[in-house]
């Protein structure tokens, strides 16, 4: 996914100039194909998102613009640490993170540039950094996945604070990454740090840890454990493979504005040290375009962040889900790791 370097006589037609001229965001994203292919510097993308999702996005961007993208793939926290270590020497133009805390850690260190205001306006404020340094590109919800043969919805806890109680000893599964830190930070924001620490201690005492959300969701489906904290899209992937009616498991959300109900976003931002900032901004804009959102939505059961794009997965309406804490509230979630260490989970 590169951003095209335009002919000399076109250099003044920057993205903002196009918008100012009334040509709009679509024109900024999709320049004439000949110009796009004439002089394009490859975009360097540090990618922590699922490979299939990013490859579909990159293919759509390159097809639309002629700009190529060089990917460096690893886990999001690992890439964030690499960027911090590289500092001004980092070759990265854009960082695409599966979760928001790794990219927020870069923003907190002043390593991200400002996202174009026109791009920020494409999504609700709750799905972007308050300082305008990163955008959410897709949304997941935190849920309980439960086995319908082992427990009924009426027997499930009515609050995230109750899942770790002795009443559910041996019945609750959890994963210490991929949404868990955001969950801890939501409890900190709503209930306070001491309550979060106590919750982690009781979860360790009464729950069972798994090495991944997919593993935990599969354990619930197979009847190995009654329910587990997870992200919604793992269950929807299973439902698409086997048919929802054929599953032994189902999803449950806590009533009301509970700390257990949160939005997790995949997020992207431009490095302040990018040597290809015009292309980086164009790529970020494409991520929130109709074409970019469709490319990502087709690969994973996550919610698009713009209106007018429908997931091929049969997702419950996002409007029916209430989250009292936004992804921006989570920050880098560094205190979540501190709490986990204090509780003996890590």
- 107-142 pLDDT, tens digit per residue, is 999 999 999 999 999 999 999 999 999 999 999 999
Q: How far apart are CA 29 and CA 286, in angstroms?
A: 6
CATH topology of domain 3-139+264-316: D-Maltodextrin-Binding Protein; domain 2 (3.40.190)
Q: How far apart are CA 31 and CA 283, in angstroms?
A: 13
Contact 249, 221 (CB under 8 A): yes
Tokens 């009654």 belong to residue: 226
pLDDT digits (tens, 9 = 90+) for 248-303: 999 999 998 899 999 999 999 999 999 999 999 999 999 999 999 999 999 999 99
In this structure, what DSSP letter does residue 230 have? Answer: E
Q: Domain spanning 141-262+320-343 has what CATH number?
A: 3.40.190.10
- Length, in residues, of the chain: 346
With a threshold of 0.95, does the pTM exceed it? no
Cβ atoms within 10 Å, residue 26: 12
Tokens 């992804």 belong to residue: 327
Domain(s) labelled CATH 3.40.190.10 in the chain stretch across: 3-139+264-316, 141-262+320-343
DSSP string, 40-81: EEPEEEEE-S-HHHHHHHHHHHHHHH---EEEEE--HHHHHH
Instruction: List, in order, residues 6 or more apart from 58 with CB less than 8 Å away.
Output: 1, 45, 69, 71
- Coil, helix or strand at residue 139: strand
Is the pLDDT at 18 greater than 80? The verdict is no
In this structure, what DSSP letter does residue 164 have? Answer: T
């Amino acid at each position: 996914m590169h951003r095209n370097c335009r002919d000399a006589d076109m250099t003044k037609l920057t993205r903002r100039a196009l918008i100012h001229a009334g040509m709009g965001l679509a024109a900024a994203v999709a320049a004439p194909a000949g110009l796009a292919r004439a002089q394009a510097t490859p975009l360097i993308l540090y990618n922590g998102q699922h490979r299939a999702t990013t490859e579909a996005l990159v293919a759509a961007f390159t097809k639309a613009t002629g700009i190529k993208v060089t990917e460096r793939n690893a886990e999001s926290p690992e890439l964030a640490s690499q960027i911090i270590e590289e500092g001004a020497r980092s070759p990265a133009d854009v960082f695409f993170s599966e979760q928001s805390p790794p990219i927020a850690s870069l923003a907190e260190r002043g390593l991200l540039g400002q996202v174009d205001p026109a791009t920020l306006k494409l999504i609700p404020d709750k799905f972007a950094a308050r300082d305008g340094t990163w955008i959410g590109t897709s949304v997941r919800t935190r849920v309980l996945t439960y086995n319908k043969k082992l427990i009924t919805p009426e027997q499930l806890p009515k609050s995230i604070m109750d899942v770790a109680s002795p009443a559910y000893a041996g019945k609750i599964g959890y994963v210490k990454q991929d949404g868990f830190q955001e969950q801890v930070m939501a409890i900190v924001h709503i209930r306070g740090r001491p309550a979060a620490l106590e919750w982690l201690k009781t979860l360790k005492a009464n729950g069972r840890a798994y090495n991944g959300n997919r593993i935990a969701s599969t354990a619930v489906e197979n009847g190995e454990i009654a329910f587990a904290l997870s992200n919604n899209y793992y269950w929807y992937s299973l439902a698409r493979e086997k048919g929802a009616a054929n599953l032994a498991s189902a999803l449950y959300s806590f009533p009301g504005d509970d700390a257990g109900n949160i939005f997790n976003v995949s997020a992207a931002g431009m490095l302040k040290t990018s040597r290809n900032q015009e292309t980086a901004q164009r790529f970020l804009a494409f991520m929130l375009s109709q074409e970019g959102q469709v490319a990502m939505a087709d690969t994973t059961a996550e919610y698009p962040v713009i209106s007018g794009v429908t997931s091929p997965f049969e997702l419950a309406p996002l409007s029916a889900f209430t989250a009292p804490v936004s992804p921006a509230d989570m920050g880098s979630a560094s205190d979540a790791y501190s709490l986990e260490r204090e509780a003996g989970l890590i």
